[in-house]
Structure 1
Amino acid sequence: MAVPLTYFGVHLAFILPPLLILGWLAFRRDRAWWGVRPLSGLGIMIGLAVVYTTPFTNHLIPESVWWYGEGAVVTTIWHTPIEEYLFFVLQPILTAFWLFQIPATADRSLAIPLTHRLIGIGGGLLIAGIGWLLTGGTSTYYLGWLLLWSGPILAIQWGFGLTYLWTVRRPVLVAIAVPTLYLWIVDRLAIELGIWVISDTYTTGHMLLGLPIEEALFFLLTNVFIVQGIVMYLWLLDRIHEVPTLSQALTRVGATSDES
C-alpha cells in the first residue's frame, strides 16, 4: 500500500517552510548572523554533511537497518534515495538559520589549555570506541554505528574548541535543542505514516518521546555537528590574527636554526 505522504512531501510540508521563514528573519534582523562569514561556514557544513553521511547511509540501508515505504521515494543513487541526499543539504540550512537568530560568541583566545584539547579528543574517541563495541551486537547495531560514525567528528570539534564551546554553552544548547526537537516530531510523524521504517531487529527497542532512541540520537548528533562547526568556524575567523602565517612560521624556524 502506497504511503499517504512521500519523502519529498515531508520536505515541502515540514522542512522548507520553517527554513524559509528563519532565513528571511536572519536576513532582516540586525542582531542575527548573516553575510559571507556565517554563510560560508554553512556551505562548509553542507559539503561535509554530504561527504561524511553518504557512506554511512549507504552502508546501513542495504543492511536493512531502515527502509522506505512503497512509493515514498522517487529514486535512489547508490542505496540512498535522492530525497535523503536532499535532506543532507536541507538540515544544515534549517539548523544554521535557527542558530543565526541567537549568535553564540565570546571574546576568547584560540589558545586553550592542552589538557582541555586532550579531554575533548579523548571524549570523542571514547564514544567511537563504545560504538565499535556495540556494532558487534544485533540489537545495538544501529546505535553502535551511530556512535562509531559520530565519535571522530566530536573528537575533532571538541579537541579544537571544547573550552570555547563551554564558554558559549547556553546559546549553543538552545541552537541544538530547538531544531532537534522539531526534527524528532517530523521523524515520528514520518515513521507513523510509513514513509520510512526502522528495523526492530537492529535497534534496542528503547524509545524517547515515541521515537527509537537511535533516531533521536541521530538528529541530536547531526545538529551538534552543525552548530558546533559553524560556531567554531566563526570563532576562528574572529581570532584569525592569532594564527601565525606560513611565512612567520618559516621565519621562526629559520631563526631557531641560526641560533643553534
Structure 2
Amino acid sequence: MTYLGFLALFLGIPILVLGALARRRPTERRAWTAMAALSLIALLYTTPWDNHLVAMGVWGYDPQRVLGITLGWVPLEEYLFFVLQPLLVGLWAMAEGPKPPPPETTGGKGRWGLLIALAALEIGALGVWISGLQEGAYLSRILAWGLPPLALQVAVGGDRLWAAREVLARRWAGPTLWLWLADGIAIRAGIWFIRPEFTVGLGLAGLPLEEMVFFALTNLLVANGWTLALDPVVERRIRQAEFRPLRIPSD
C-alpha cells in the first residue's frame, strides 16, 4: 500500500461517507467555516514541527510508497494528512447532528488548576527537548508542541468544554480509535516508521505510545476547537474582549 492509497482508504472514504451523512443534517454555515479554518490552522501549525522531526530522524517514510514530491523534509502526502484529519473529526461531529450548547454557568475556576498542570507539563517537555535526551525525544516534542494550543482553548472556554464533555468525548473518541487503528496498519505496512531510539519504548499492539498520544492530542484539539467555534457563549466572550476599551490606570 502506498501513502496515497492509505489516505484514500482511511481518510478519503470515511470523509466522503461522513460528508454525505452530514449533508442530511441541519448544519449551520459557520460549522463548515470552522472545519475549513481548523484544517488551515493544522496545516500551518504542524508543518514546521513535522519537518523538524523528520529532519532529526525521529520518523521517516519508505521512498517506494510516496509520490516523491517533497516540500522541505516531508512528502506531499503528509501535508494532505494535516488537512484531512480535521475534516474527518469535523464531519464525524456533523454527521451526528447539531447539539444544543450547554446552559451557561458561573463556574470555570477549575480552569486555573488545569492551566497550571498544563504549564508544568510544558516546562517538563521543554526541559527534555533542550537537554538533548534521545530517549523520550519524540514524546517531549509532541507535548511541547501540542500543549500550548490546548492551554489556549482551556483559557478561552475550559468551562464550556467541561459542560459539553459528553458530546465532546463522542466527537473525540471515534476518530481517535480509527486513526490509532490506521496508524498501526501504516507502520506495520512500512509506509512510515518510528525510530525506537527516540521513543520511551511503550506501546499497544505495535503502536508506539507516542503515536497514541499524538492522535489523542491532535483530535482533542480539533474537537475542542470545533466545539468552541460553535458555542455562542464563547463567541460572546471573544466579541466582548475585542471591543472592550483599553483602560489606562490613572496616577
TM over 0.5: yes
> Residue 234 of structure 1: CA displacement?
0.8
Aligned to 1:211: 207
> Residue 68 of structure 1: CA displacement?
0.5
Matched-pair contact (CA < 8 Å) for 1:61–1:67: yes
2:58 paired with 1:65: yes
Q: Deviations over 1:201-257 (max 9, x none)?
A: 10111012330000111111110010000101111477538843866x44x969x99
The two structures have a TM-score, normalised by structure 2, of 0.89
Matched-pair contact (CA < 8 Å) for 1:205–1:212: yes
* Largest Rg, 1 or 2: 1
**Structure 2 vs 1, CA of residues 42 and 138 (structure 1 numbering), >3 Å: closer, same or farther?**
same
Aligned to 2:42: 49
1:25 aligns with one of 21, 28, 34: 21
> Residue 71 of structure 1: CA displacement?
1.2
1: CA distance between counterparts of 2:19 and 2:154?
Answer: 28
1: CA distance between counterparts of 2:83 and 2:242?
Answer: 34
Aligned to 2:88: 94
2:171 aligns with one of 168, 171, 175: 175
| Structure 2: stretches of 5+ with no match in the other structure | none
Give the 5 Å matches for 1:29-40. Answer: 29-30=25-26, 34-40=27-33
CA RMSD after TM alignment:
2.5
Opposite residue 213 of structure 1, the aligned amino acid is: L
Give the 5 Å matches for 1:115-154. Answer: 115-135=109-129, 136=131, 137-154=133-150
2: CA distance between counterparts of 1:176 and 1:133?
Answer: 29
How many residue pairs align between the two structures?
Answer: 247
Aligned to 1:14: 10
| Structure 1: stretches of 5+ with no match in the other structure | none
**Structure 2 vs 1, CA of residues 105 and 80 (structure 1 numbering), >3 Å: closer, same or farther?**
farther
**Structure 2 vs 1, CA of residues 80 and 237 (structure 1 numbering), >3 Å: closer, same or farther?**
farther
> Residue 162 of structure 1: CA displacement?
1.2
2: CA distance between counterparts of 1:125 and 1:143?
Answer: 16
